Each structure stands twice: as C-alpha cells, then as structure tokens.
Amino acid sequence: MDTTHGPMGPLETPFRNTDMNPSFNRRHFLAGSAATAVAASSVNAAGLAALPDMAQRDSADTAGPWTPPGVTGAGRPYNPVVTLNGWTAPWRMKDGAKEFHLVAEPVVREMAPGFLVNMWGYNGQSPGPTIEVVEGDRVRIFVTNRLPEHTTIHWHGQRLPNGMDGVGGLNQPQIAPGKTFVYEFVARRPGTFMYHPHADEMVQMAMGMMGLWITHPRQKHPLIEDVQRDYAFLLNAFDVEPGSRTPRINTMLDFNIWGFNSRVFPAISPLVARLGERVRVRVGNLTMTNHPVHIHGIEFEVTGTDGGPTPKGARWPEVTTDIAVGQMRQIEFIADEPGDWALHCHKSHHTMGAMGHGVPTMIGVDHRGLVGGLQRAAPDYMVMGERGMADMGDMEMELPANTFPMMTGRGPYGPIEMGGMFTLLKVRADQKAGDYGDPGWYAQPPGSQAREVQGPPDPAPSSPTPPSSATTSQPAASARKPAAQRHAH
C-alpha cells in the first residue's frame, strides 16, 4: 500500500490523501452541506481569491504523513507526524511565509461507521488539520468563519505577539460570520501544541473545534530525538444522547462519548511500528477531565509537554501518564515487543460508549423466574448486568438509530468489550519502514498465550449468603455514633 502522498503541490485542490485504513468502512458524505452552503454564500468569493486554498477533507480515515513538495522552506528534513484519523494541512510559500487557510464551519464527523455526529470543525473535519512547521518558520494563517456565530483561534503554547494570541475581545475583535482574519507569527519553539477557539469556548469546543500544531526543531536538538514514527492525537469528549446526532453543549462533566480525534474504538486507527523503532506519541487534552493514558507492553518516557522538551534528568519510565485538562504530553518508547498492545485511557468509563452510562448495578440480583415470565410476554426481554456486564460486548441489542454501543470491537478471540478512548499499538518485525498500514491481528507464537488449564472443574460460585443476625447485631452503643463523627470522613 502506498502510504505517502504523491508529489502534490500545496496549491492543488481538492486535497487528497492516501488513506491508510481501507478496512474501515469509508463513507463519503456532503459534510454539513446545507449549513455550509448557506454560510459560504456570505463569504465573498472574489475576496478569497488571493488567499491560499481552503483544503477540504471528506474522510475520517488516517492520512499518510505529508512531506511538503520540493523545498521545505526552512530547517532540516523532518519525519512528518501522522495524525490519528486526521491529516496535515497543506500550505503554500508566499513572501517568505508558510500560508495556511483554516475554515471554521459545521461538519459531519463519522465518529465510527454508522455513527455520525453534527459538529463544528475546520476544513471539513473535527479535529481540524494538523499544522506542521519547522522552528523559525514565519507562519501566516488565514481563518475564514463559516459558523453561524463569531469565533477566533488561540494558538495554545506558542510564543507570539500578544495581538496574535486569539482571545476574542481581549487580543482582537471577534471574527464575525462570513469574515476572514489573518494571524502571522514566527514558530519560535519546537514542540507539540494545539489550536482551538477562544470565543464562546464552552460551545465551540463541545462541538469539536480543535486541532494540533507540531513544530519540528530547525537543527538537531539535544533534547529532541529523531524518531521513526511520530503520532499525534487529541483527547476529546462529547455528550450525544443515544439516537440523536448533535452534541449537547451545556454539559460540564456528564459526557458519554470519549474519543481520540473525534473517533471511538474500534474506529480509531492503530499505531503501527516496526520492531525496534523509536516511536513518539503526542497527546493533547481538550476535554473537561483528566485522562491517564496507558500503554501495554512497553515503558515510555514523557519527553516533552506543551511547555517544551523535558530535561533528560527529569524523565522517568512510566506505563501510564495522566494528561490534565489543557495539557499536552509527548511520550516516547522503543517498540521492542512484538504484538497487539492496548493503548487506552485508564478511566474505565472512558473506554465505553453511551450505553455504559447511567446503568444501575445489577450484579448479584437474582432474576430467576422473573425473566421467564417476562419473556413469555416480551420474547426479547433480557436482564442487563446480572453477572457483570461482559455479556454486553457480544450482545445484539436493538439500539436507537445512530447510537454508539456501550462495548464493542472484536478481536481474534472474541469481543474486546471496549469503546471510546482505546486503540492498539501494533508492533511487527516485518512492518516496513514508513508503512502505516494495519498489519492485521498478531499471530501468537505457539506456547506463548494464556490457556485453559485442564483439571477438575471448579464449582460455580453460589449466591452470596445473607449475613446471619449473629454477625450483624452489634451493641447499640457502638452502632450509633454522633452525627458529627459519622460524617467526619
């Protein structure tokens, strides 16, 4: 599979990428066509003629790494990032600056095949395209607003003139619907950054407006290693009521759809590596809670944050790193264990779809007798959660249309019982350098897999015995404490 872009100039349109995951059901649709068309008519086409192309993307598949054709404009050659289920914005060189054109607009994001969500984003997708430049580059970014309300863009983590920082009302007037503003500054610090609106933030970020910014070092940097794979994604969260298609925007904590780059497992691309390669993963958090990101099979170090590279003496091995709200973490490891390794948020509710939320605990509740009677009246009736909820992973329960199920994803040995912030790190000895294609499931070498032990069967656990009155009766004096003490903890 060809995973690199052809010699396509940044001025060509439409921007096409070689998709890496043809196995995912690719759907092409008119992204927010009606809303976009109405809003677009208010932008004067002649006025935009002098601006760089508004590259659009209609697929949620991961685009291969994008290397600018010909001259990079500045800096040494770099290994481009791969944005999970995203893409890199093309630019044109003009008057000594790399020129980009972002369009804030309503989009329809395929969070998983069959699960479409109305969002706001940039250039046809949420998140927007990754801005990828080199330290010292002069960067000029045109921002056209096709939303029904005003917006701005804040360039999270950048050193820049105060008037370019993008806080609407503070640093600049808001960008009204139909208007185009231009930002210009030098990418002074190498590292991992992001961009998002600083205007009606609660609504605009809840609707999916965000993107990544990567600045590669101009020269060999003592704290920035060369890597063979460089992945990037943003953590994001939405509140999409089962059966609906538009996120609720006033939600503060009760989100039910947890994604990497507005995708949910099993629709998130895997991170692939050739055995022995050095891999960097850049993760930013634009949700309203922290996410302990955990990788199986290897140990990693945090080599940088949005504040810059981490000094070597301040790094230590980890297998989980917590990423707080508004933070970015750049983690690195050697992919020296072959296999399919889980990479996920360690908050278990964040690896579940919408149906995992608000479900009562049913473990240990004995429904025998009740279900049979109900099933005579309603044959599809089933009790959820009586023996734990693992049955959900294999269940074909009828869900409202456009609902992401609670646990999903099937591996070579059955349901994986995950959804949301979960994907795989696939390490293979025979993965070709630069090949980002999914190598399929790992074949366990004979004798290296957990297996059933042959022996006498263990009796099934019986229902818990209710405690006898002898064990619960306590002297009245010790059972009753003053109210102040009872609530002291």
| Residue ranges that bind Cu ion, judged by CB under 5 A | 291, 345, 347, 350
Which positions ≥6 away from 139 have C-beta within 8 Å?
97, 98, 100, 131, 133, 183, 184, 185, 186, 187
Give the end-to-end CA distance of the chain in Å, rounded to a whole number.
Answer: 60
Shortest Å distance, C-beta 454 to Cu ion: 40
Shortest Å distance, C-beta 196 to Cu ion: 18
Which positions ≥6 away from 411 have C-beta within 8 Å?
340, 441
Structure tokens at 478: 């010790």
Q: Which is nearer to Cu ion, 348 or 375 (CB)?
A: 348
Q: Which is nearer to Cu ion, 196 or 350 (CB)?
A: 350
Three-state secondary-structure class, residue 205: helix
Q: Which is nearer to Cu ion, 272 or 345 (CB)?
A: 345
Q: How many CB atoms lie within 10 A of CB 212?
A: 29
DSSP-derived secondary structure letter, 276: T
Q: Which is nearer to Cu ion, 138 or 346 (CB)?
A: 346
Shortest Å distance, C-beta 415 to Cu ion: 21
Shortest Å distance, C-beta 245 to Cu ion: 23
Q: How many CB atoms lie within 10 A of CB 69?
A: 14
Shortest Å distance, C-beta 369 to Cu ion: 40
Shortest Å distance, C-beta 339 to Cu ion: 23
| CA gap 422, 352 in Å, rounded | 9
Q: Which is nearer to Cu ion, 248 or 349 (CB)?
A: 349
Shortest Å distance, C-beta 139 to Cu ion: 32
| CA gap 155, 134 in Å, rounded | 15
Identify the helix (H) or strand (E) that includes residue 415: strand 414-418
Q: How far is CA 6 from the centre of its chain?
A: 27
Three-state secondary-structure class, residue 47: helix
Shortest Å distance, C-beta 233 to Cu ion: 13
Q: Which is nearer to Cu ion, 104 or 345 (CB)?
A: 345
Which positions ≥6 away from 350 have C-beta within 8 Å?
258, 291, 344, 420, 421
Q: Which is nearer to Cu ion, 100 or 231 (CB)?
A: 231
Structure tokens at 360: 């009562």
Q: Which is nearer to Cu ion, 209 or 345 (CB)?
A: 345
Q: Tell me how many degrees the CA angle 482-486-489 measures, rounded to the nearest 5.
A: 145
Which positions ≥6 away from 461 have C-beta within 8 Å?
none
